[in-house]
Each structure stands twice: as C-alpha cells, then as structure tokens.
C-alpha cells in the first residue's frame, strides 16, 4: 500500500506540536507523501483546501492553535478530506481533556491514533490519576475492546499503539506485532506515525486498511532500525528509523510488518 | 568565500518556522556563522541590532511573528544590516500572499530566495491554482526571466532554487547546477540555504557573489551527501548534508559547486 | 548517579525554546528520564503537578510563554518540585534581562545553568556591550567567583558551562573539565544539558551533586562523540552525542567525566 502513497504523493497538512514537527515532516516525506505545516487561523482553511489529508496533534496545544485545529478540521470535513487525530496527553490534564472533547464534538475524524491511556480517556474509561509517563498497560484495559469502543463512539478508525498495535473499525480488527521497544526511547515515533497515517489515508484508499498498513510500515521500520543501529544508541536508531521508512516497500511491510487482519 | 564566513563568524538573527529551525541553526553553525533565534516584538529590535544579518522565513507565520518580522526588518534596514527573505508557500494561500506583499512594502531585502512558484508569485506571474506540493517547473516559466524581474522589482538579489539554481541582480546572472534530487526528499534544505545565505551576506561582502557562493556550497554539500549516504536513506542523507557543510571549503565549492557567473 | 535517573525515570516538564526542543527531549530520554513539553497557561500547572522536575529555558521567549513559565514555576515551588533555569541570552537584550529578573523574583530555582555571560548578568557584573555570539571568557570574569555569587544571591545551585564547567552552592565548588569544543559547533548542547539536569535533580537526590554529575555525563558524552564522529562533521557528531548519552553509565562518567568536587 506504500506504493500507492509514493504514486499519489498526497499533500498532508499538519497542525502539530513543535517538539517533533521536524521528524513528522521527514517521516511523511520518507513514505512518499508531502508535508505542509500551517497553524494560523488566517491560513489553515486555505491550506487544508489544497491538501489530501489533515493531521491534528495536540502535543503542545494552546488557545491560538486549538482554534486553528477546529477551523481546519471543520473545513476538511466540508471538503471530505480525511482528518487524523493524535490526542497527545489526553487523560493527563484537564486542558488536554477539554480540547479533545471539543475536537470530537466539532470535527469528524477518519482516524484517531493514540496510546492506551489516551484512547481510554476518549472511551471514558481512563483513570485520571495516571500521568503521561505511566501509560496504562494491557493489564489495565484490553486494547481491542477500547479500540472497538472508540471507533463505535466516534465513527473513526481507532488505532492504539503499544507493545502490540490494534486498529479497529466497524467490528473489524487488525493487530500489528512488529515495532521495537527502542521506539519508545526516542521522542516522536507516535507523532511520526500519525503523520504517516495522514499520508496513507490521503491516498483516498480505505482508511482501516491504510491505517493498519501505515502502522505495519512503521513497525517494520522499527525492527530494521533496531537491527541496524540499536546497539549504537538512540541517536543512530532515530536516523536509521527514517532511513528504513524512506526505503520501505510493500514487500518489506509484508515480510516484517507482522500485520494480521481479522 | 566560505573562508570569509568562517573568519568573520557573523551573527545571523533568524525569525523562522518551527519545522526546520533546528536544521537552520545547525546549517548556519556548520558554515562558520552563528545563529540566534528570536521572534517576539519585545526582543527582535534589540537582537537584530547586535546581528550582522537577519533572515525572515514565513513557513509557519502567524500574526504575532509577522509583526515581529516587520519590526525586525525595518530596524535592520535603518542599521544597514542585510535582510534575507524566504517566502515559504507564497502563491499557496492568500494569507501567505498578503504577508509577502506587506513584507515587500515595509522592508528592503538584500536577498530573496525561493522556489520558482514562490518567486513567480512575487513577480506577479504565479498561477494561483497550484499548491505548494506541485511547484511550477521550468516549462511553466523561465527562472532566469523571473529572477531578473524579481530583482528589478525589489532591488534584491533574487535566487530561485530548483533543478538548476538561478541568482540575478542588476542584469547579472549566476547559475548553479550542483545539488541533488535527494535534497527534496528531506524537509528544510531551502530553509537551511536561506539561513546559510544569511551567514554569507552577513560578512559584508557583495550580496550577489555571496548568495551564489552560498548556493554553490549547499549544492556541493548535496552532492557529497548523496555520494556518502544517498543509498542508506533520507535520515543518513540529512546527517551527511550537515557533515558536508561543516567540512566545506572554498576548494570544494570550486570543484563541486558548479557555479557559473555570466 | 545516572543509574538513579534510569531507575526512577523522573518526568521532566520543559517550557523550552522551539529551536532545540527535539534534542532536549531526546537527551532527557537518553539519560533515562521522561520529557513532557507543555507551555500554555491553561495546561502548565496541571502538567507540573504530575512531574518530578520543571525546566524553564527562555531561548525563544514571548509574552504568552513567559506568563506560563511564572505560573509553572510558582506551582512547582508550592509542590516542592525542583526548578531548573536556563537563562538563554541573558545580557544580550533588555527583554531577556527583564524576563530573567522577573523569573528570579517570582520563582525559587534549584539550579541555574548558563554560560559565563548569562551568569554574569544574573550576578550583576555583565558587560551589556557584548552580544550572544561573543561570550565572556575567563579573562573577563572568574567563573568560580561568579558561580559562588549567583548561588549566594539566588539560593540555587549555579552552574557555568564553558571550557571548564563550574558548579557552586553554599561555598561548595565542583569543576568539570571534560567536554569538547565540537559541542559549540552544534546548536542545543546547553539546552540539552539543562534538560538532562532536570532529569538528574528530578530523582530527589542532592541538587549540587546531581548537577555536577549531569554535566560530567554530558562532558563525557562530548568526548566520546568527538572520538567517534568528530572527523566526520557536525551532523554525525550530534548523532554520536545522543548515542553516547543513551549508553552512558556511572562507570563511564567516572572514567571520562573529569569531575572534581572540592
């Protein structure tokens, strides 16, 4: 499916955090799509109108950018442009929670991707006492159940990334068991993945299948990067991860992506 | 000419986008200049007054930073400090267009560097229907004519980067045919180049010659990085590009920069 | 002492500049702590309340974020969470100076880390005529005296980094002579170090000892990165620096950190 991304080179408008934005742009380019970052209310409607996907990431949210997220998201909806949500830190603070609530009320998302804590918040099952550093584990909640519930509640493809990744939509479930623990030792792999999902769904192909394939591509890249650079340290691992994404093919995803669709 | 940059180590004040700002800072350091990023209206006039060049990049513009760009630009003009403009996305949205118009009315630029679409917008010849992802090509407009026209209109050195790069001023034209397509597969090579141009013109030497040399340095770095890391992927290419800039010499620019001044 | 950081994995809330924020996050992860970036007034009090340290870096300050710094800092004080200040560019502009003054009046810092110019400003001994590019040297002021004076004035551990690094508190002085000049050829080593100090003091151990150890860890990493990648260029050096931090151990700090506590 990455071949379709490389063929169509969708333009992906990102309203994203300033911590990982450069990695997000490079990851989107690496899979063959094209990123454009724009977050001002005066600009976002016009930029989204020339894009094939919109990615909203609340990592470093503020009043100015939240307003832009809603304006861009509603514009994308009216133009039938798919919108991806990365609810960074949902469950960790009231402001993040209120913002996620507001986004879910105002914007119809094609895909929502988060870790288990964030998705459990959206599902209404999150423990508020856990911080962002102590993510919920599969012992706290079943990712398949949470993903199915979030999908039913929002109408979006729900993707929960963790030790094993889960994608759910309309009762369909995909599980991806590639990826490597090294990915949690650098910042931004989640944000990069959300950007990459934007590129995959920006092709216009089925969002459930494309989201699962995007995650499998990232998981395969994580395994390849670990093989190549895991022993050197996290700086080299990060470079190798982008290298692996930029040389990713459908064959490699099939071989190493460990994607099962039920 | 890079030896002059390394000798004088000009301080380059950048008001630039948050996507590529880290790469811009590292590229400026790599060529021997010194970056300082400051974008608040309360700070920019003082920071520009201790700098030898100002670089304005509108990649992630907003109302707050546009105000700072104009304040810093006019302060730089009054102090005879050269100002470089990178009109990211000009032609792609009305807000970007209005901002470029406002900057050109308020600030006298020493150098304007963009791709063909952006520079054609400034020349008044841009097709508004093209997005940022589908840049105009040489089939749509002749870069030499556009560069000469932008230079005549603005009084600035006009630099158009693309497959072949063009620099024009007062009827003089330079063409640089180094560089590599890999540079378009990572984010920020244009922004980095604009920052590097700031370092080169911050020496006080002739802006036309220094801009052409800065582009030749970046083009040579692109070729060297491709030789070294092109086969590994875009993560490694990006690291190798900064490596090549940091070890760049006038001799390498002469050998691999492919600069012709007519 | 880095083993304690890796054991406890403190959550480090950073309000930091957008130039080096990604490197700061990756450096914090590399030493075994966990970063969270949040800079909006609606969010910072809640985020700091779940964190074990707060790092305030004024590199790209503006009115919105300065307000958040003060709110987060006072909240951290009331919760006895250690706060680290990186006064980037203090002495270089009136706005930076006023902001540092305001922060020092409003917030009680556990650690203040800067270069000699910045710390001399805090000490009231800075020459205002020097820009950020021409830092004061040991010929202009004695780092040990400045550090002791800043510590006495503020009650914080005062750390001055330079050719030799100095840490002072309550008459105690530590000197660290590791590190390498290559660290000044990339952006962000100072910011990364301030983030890493946040991780070290977030363990709850003695701030003077932990700050000295954090600087020794960074200095050792600089030496290792130079050995490995110094000849390749600054792009590779930066990758190697993160690699070295991510594989740093107490044994390596002891061997290569060159830390002397008097």
Q: What is the ipTM of this complex?
A: 0.96
Chains that touch A (3 or more CB pairs under 8 A): B, C
Task: Give the ranges where chain C is alpha helix by DSSP (H).
Answer: 2-8, 21-30, 44-49, 63-78, 94-106, 116-123, 143-154, 189-201, 207-229, 234-246, 250-256
Give me the phi and psi of C77, to 5 degrees please: -55, -45
Do the Cβ atoms of C50 and A133 come within 8 Å? yes
Mean pLDDT on A105-117: 97
* pTM more than 0.95: yes
| pLDDT confidence of residue A139 | 76
| pLDDT confidence of residue B129 | 43
Q: Which residue of A has its CA nearest to B237?
A: A243
Question: How many angstroms separate the CA atoms of A86 and A119, rounded?
Answer: 10
Among C22, C240, C247, the residue with its CB nearest the CB of A22 is C22
Contacts of C186 in chain B (CB under 8 A): 26, 29
A129 pLDDT more than 50: no
| pLDDT confidence of residue A137 | 75
Question: How many angstroms separate the CA atoms of C56 and C162, rounded?
Answer: 20
| pLDDT confidence of residue B126 | 61
Contacts of A132 in chain C (CB under 8 A): 11, 36, 50
| pLDDT confidence of residue B135 | 65
| pLDDT confidence of residue C135 | 65
Contacts of A34 in chain B (CB under 8 A): 133
Chain B: nearest CA to C218, how far in angstroms? 19
> SS3 letters for B188-240?
CHHHHHHHHHHHHHCCCCCHHHHHHHHHHHHHHHHHHHHHHHCCCCHHHHHHH
Mean pLDDT on A121-130: 70
| pLDDT confidence of residue A135 | 65
Among A9, A30, A38, the residue with its CB nearest the CB of B60 is A38
Contacts of C63 in chain B (CB under 8 A): 40, 42
| pLDDT confidence of residue C140 | 80
pLDDT digits (tens, 9 = 90+) for A15-39: 999 999 999 999 999 999 999 999 9
Count of beta carbons in the 10 Å neighbourhood of residue C204: 15
Q: Which residues of chain B are modeled with pLDDT < 50?
A: 129-131, 133-134
Pick from C5, C7, C43, C196 the residue to mutate for testing the A interface (most A CBs within 10 Å): C43
pLDDT of chain C, 262 residues: tens digit per residue: 899 999 999 999 999 999 999 999 999 999 999 999 999 999 999 999 999 999 999 999 999 999 999 999 999 999 999 999 999 999 999 999 999 999 999 999 999 999 999 999 999 976 554 445 446 777 788 999 999 999 999 999 999 999 999 999 999 999 999 999 999 999 999 999 999 999 999 999 999 999 999 999 999 999 999 999 999 999 999 999 999 999 999 999 999 999 999 8
Cβ-Cβ contacts under 8 Å for A262 (sequence gap 6 or more): A172, A173, A174, A175
Structure tokens at A140: 């706290």
Among A29, A50, A247, the residue with its CB nearest the CB of B187 is A29
Pick from B20, B235, B236 the residue to mutate for testing the A interface (most A CBs within 10 Å): B235
Q: How large a percentage of chain A has pLDDT more than 90?
A: 93
Strand partners for B175:
B166, B260
Mean pLDDT on A217-244: 98
């Amino acid at each position: 499916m990455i071949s379709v991304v490389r063929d169509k080179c969708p333009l992906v408008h990102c309203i994203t955090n300033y911590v990982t934005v450069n990695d997000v742009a490079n990851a989107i380019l690496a899979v063959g799509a094209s990123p454009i970052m724009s977050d001002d209310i005066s600009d976002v409607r016009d930029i989204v109108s020339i894009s094939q996907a919109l990615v909203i990431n609340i990592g470093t949210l503020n009043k100015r950018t939240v307003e832009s997220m809603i304006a861009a998201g509603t514009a994308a909806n009216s133009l039938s442009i798919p919108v991806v949500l990365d609810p960074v830190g949902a469950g960790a603070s009231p402001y993040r929670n209120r913002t996620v609530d507001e986004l879910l009320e105002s914007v119809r998302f094609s895909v929502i991707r988060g870790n288990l804590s964030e998705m459990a918040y959206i599902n209404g099952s999150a423990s508020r006492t856990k911080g962002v550093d102590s993510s919920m584990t599969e012992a706290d909640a079943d990712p398949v159940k949470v993903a199915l519930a979030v999908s039913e509640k929002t109408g979006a493809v729900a993707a929960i990334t963790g030790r094993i990744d889960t994608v759910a939509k309309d009762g369909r479930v995909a599980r991806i068991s590639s990826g490597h623990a090294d990915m949690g030792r650098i910042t931004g792999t989640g944000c990069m993945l959300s950007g990459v999902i934007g590129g995959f769904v920006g092709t216009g192909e089925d969002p459930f299948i494309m989201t699962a394939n995007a995650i499998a591509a990232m998981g395969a890249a994580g395994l390849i990067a670990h093989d190549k650079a895991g022993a050197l340290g996290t700086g080299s691992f990060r470079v190798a991860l982008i290298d692996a994404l930029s040389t990713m093919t459908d064959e490699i995803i099939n071989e190493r992506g460990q994607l099962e669709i039920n």
